[in-house]
Amino acid sequence: MSDNPLLGTWRLKSHVVTTAAGVRSTPYGEHPTGYLSYSADGRMQVIGAANDRIAPPDPTPPHHERVMLYDTMFAYAGRYSVETGKVIHHVDISWNQVWTGTDQVRLFEVHGTTLTLTTRIVDPTNAVETHYALVWERVAGVP
């Protein structure tokens, strides 16, 4: 993996969703936060959150506040493999149990210190083809 352009840690800069009809949304806000790490031993982990999350006043929030926190974040980890222009995340653990045990395929482009991951799926909630684009910036000091 020495020629692996993904190695290192990346900071989330944007998360944009676009439908086939051209409707654009930013489900985690205009400035989401998050980190994505790819290690030389073939493991990856990612966590992301909306930029406008509200901290509940109580350390044990009621159900509706927990649901809101869950809906404004994503996280998973597992092994990964790289092919030309494609990275496959082999999910071992996830914030969304449905993803655990699945392969999440992402197309990637690296330009300097910027990594763009994209995927196109048919959204199971509404059967609409949807394009996801996440832009990451390499964390300084990491190869």
Residue spans of the domains in the chain: they are 8-138
pTM for the predicted model, two decimal places: 0.89
Question: 73: part of which helix (H) or strand (E)?
Answer: strand 73-83
Mean pLDDT throughout 111-131? 89
The domain made up of 8-138 is a member of CATH 2.40.128.280? yes
In this prediction, residue 142 carries a pLDDT of: 60
In this prediction, residue 2 carries a pLDDT of: 56
Whether the predicted pLDDT of 36 surpasses 60: yes
Confidence at 1, pLDDT banded by 50, 70, 90: very low
Task: Tell me how far apart the alpha carbons of residues 142 and 140 are, in angstroms, rounded to a whole number.
Answer: 6
Task: Tell me how far apart the alpha carbons of residues 57 and 114 are, in angstroms, rounded to a whole number.
Answer: 36
For tokens 């909306």, the residue is: 50
Most confident range (mean pLDDT) of 25-29, 51-55, 56-60, 121-125 is 25-29
Is residue 79 within 8 Å of residue 92, measured between CB atoms? Answer: yes
In this prediction, residue 55 carries a pLDDT of: 86
The angle subtended at Cα 93 by Cα 89 and Cα 98, nearest 5°, is 85
